[in-house]
Structure formats: C-alpha cells, structure tokens
C-alpha cells in the first residue's frame, strides 16, 4: 500500500511538473511574465489552472501535498506541530538535497481556490515564522 501511494505521488508530481513546464513555455512564447512567485495567489491560480487543463475535476477530493523546508530538524518538527490539521497531517524527513529538512504536509481535500489559498497562506506563515521556506503545493489529477 505504501509503495502504491509513493508511486501515485511520484506519477502525480511528474505529470504536474510537465503541465507546469508547458504552462511556462506557453507564457514565454507569448512574451508574458513567467510563473508567479511560489506562495502567491497568482501561483495558486496558475497551478489550479494547470490541474484543470490536465483534466482534473477540482470539485472532487484529491491528494494535495505542501512542502516546507527548514535548516534544522528541530525547526521542521516545530513546523509540523503547527502546520498539521486533522485533514492535513504533517511529517518530517530529510530533504532530497541532504542539507535541509522537509516538513511534508499531505492529505485529501477538495482543491478549491479558497481552500488552497487558505492552506497555502497558513503554511507560508508557519515557514516564515520558523525561518523556513514554503515551496508550494501539488495535487493529483483526479477526474
């Protein structure tokens, strides 16, 4: 079951990254501004638009993952305790670069603009208060 979940997250991540790269290329070709800064309302809207363009039904619950990075394990653990909710539990693990710590907040939710914006703003505030970086979110494409 864990392997299936990991595979699901990896495939969803790769699909979303491909969609976002395409979105960035489309903006570059039109001489429009690049993707909005991570954590901004516009970035959340762009990601939701990319999910919609990929065929996601944004009215259905889906797995959503949020990423907060910290220089120490203690800071990441503090963030996890502040960031988690019953719907969005958090866990701490070493970051992929081996130098930082990831507070991974993940759960099932309906990715409406208001729900995503509320979670994004709240988690960005947690990261900022504890000296970390909020690195955005991703969601599975549910149909």
* pLDDT tens, the chain, 143 aa long: 444 444 444 445 444 444 444 544 454 455 555 778 999 999 999 999 999 999 999 999 999 999 999 999 999 999 999 999 999 999 999 999 999 999 999 999 999 999 999 999 999 999 999 999 999 999 988 87
**pLDDT in the model for residue 85:** 95
Tokens 């909005």 map to which residue?
A: 36
**pLDDT in the model for residue 35:** 78
Hey, what CATH topology would domain 2-139 get?
Answer: Alpha-Beta Plaits (3.30.70)
**pLDDT in the model for residue 21:** 47
SS3 34: coil
**pLDDT in the model for residue 75:** 98
**pLDDT in the model for residue 142:** 82
CB atoms < 10 A from the CB of 40, how many?
A: 16
The two tokens of residue 12 are 């969803």
CA–CA gap between residue 62 and residue 21 (Å, rounded): 22
**pLDDT in the model for residue 31:** 53
What is the secondary structure of 18-79 as a DSSP string?
HHHHHHHHHHHHTT---PPPTTSHHHHHHHHHHHHHTT--TTS-EEEEEEEEESSHHHHHHH
Q: What proportions of the chain, in percent to the nearest 5, are helix, strand and coil?
A: 50, 20, 30
**pLDDT in the model for residue 33:** 57
Q: Give the predicted TM-score (pTM) of the model.
A: 0.76
DSSP symbol at 15: H
């Amino acid at each position: 079951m864990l392997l299936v979940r990991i595979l699901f997250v990896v495939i969803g991540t790769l699909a979303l990254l491909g969609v976002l790269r395409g979105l960035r290329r489309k903006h570059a070709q039109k001489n429009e501004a690049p993707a909005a800064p991570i954590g901004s309302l516009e970035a959340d809207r762009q990601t939701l638009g990319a999910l919609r363009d990929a065929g996601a039904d944004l009215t259905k619950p889906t797995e959503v993952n949020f990423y907060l990075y910290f220089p120490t394990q203690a800071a990441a653990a503090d963030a996890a305790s502040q960031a988690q909710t019953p719907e969005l539990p958090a866990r701490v693990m070493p970051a992929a670069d081996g130098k930082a710590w990831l507070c991974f907040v993940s759960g099932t939710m309906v990715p409406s603009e208001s729900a995503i914006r509320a979670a994004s703003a709240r988690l960005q505030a947690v990261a900022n208060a504890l000296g970390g970086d909020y690195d955005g979110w991703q969601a599975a494409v549910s149909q």
